[in-house]
């Protein structure tokens, strides 16, 4: 979800199972206040996690009607720590900052900054800076591509 939706790890660990919803063949996860359409494979993974949560504690979460965490920690009624997620991702060669930055650049190319602000929980100013950065990066890239010197050599 970091790579797809630029979700900060601290928000990822706060997600609860009640934020997941199926509507026919579509599945949604509410991030902040926005339901986000999930790719089918990610929706399946989330459904499996909800059906069989990984619990590493003998203490079970209280059955008081409150939603459980999507990624339970120890004890299970608390979320896993953000640092633990970061460590697990690094163990598999996945850097959180670069993944989130890439997702943010892709998002600002498709969505207005005000939507980015609400969806990803960043300030409006930050969303505008990201949008300007993405636009500047593409402008430089396109300018370089139209430069005759930058054209790749022809193959024979």
Segment 11-16 mean pLDDT: 92
Q: Which residues contact 154 (CB under 8 A, 6 or more apart)?
A: none
Q: What is the pLDDT of residues 62-115, one digit of tens each?
A: 566 678 899 988 887 888 999 999 999 999 998 998 888 888 888 888 888 888
Q: Which two tokens stand for residue 156?
A: 């024979």
In a domain, 17, yes or no: yes
Tell me the whole-structure pTM to 2 decimals: 0.69
- Within-domain flag for 60: yes
Asked if residue 155 belongs to a domain, the reply is: no
- Give the chain's mean pLDDT: 81
Q: What is the mean pLDDT of residues 119-140?
A: 75
Residue 73 lies in a domain: yes
Residue span of the structural domain in which 140 resides: 2-150
Mean pLDDT value of segment 131-144: 64
> How many folded domains does the chain comprise?
1
The reply to whether 156 falls in a domain is no
Question: Is 119 part of a structural domain of the chain?
Answer: yes
Domain contains 40: yes
Kindly tell me if the per-residue pLDDT of 20 is higher than 60. Answer: yes
pLDDT of 119 reads 74
Q: Is residue 57 assigned to a domain? A: yes
């Amino acid at each position: 979800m970091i790579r797809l939706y630029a979700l900060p790890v601290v928000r990822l660990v706060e997600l609860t199972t009640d934020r997941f919803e199926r509507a026919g063949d579509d599945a949604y996860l509410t991030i902040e206040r926005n339901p986000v359409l999930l790719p089918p494979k990610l929706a399946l993974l989330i459904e499996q996690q909800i059906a069989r949560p990984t619990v590493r504690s003998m203490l079970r979460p209280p059955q008081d009607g409150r939603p459980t965490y999507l990624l339970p920690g120890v004890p299970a009624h608390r979320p896993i720590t953000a640092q633990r997620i970061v460590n697990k991702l690094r163990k598999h060669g996945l850097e959180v900052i670069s993944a989130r930055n890439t997702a943010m650049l892709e998002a600002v190319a498709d969505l207005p900054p005000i939507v980015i602000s609400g969806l990803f929980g960043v300030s409006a100013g930050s969303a505008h800076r990201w949008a300007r950065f993405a636009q500047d990066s593409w402008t430089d890239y396109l300018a370089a591509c139209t430069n005759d010197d930058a054209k790749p050599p022809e193959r024979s």
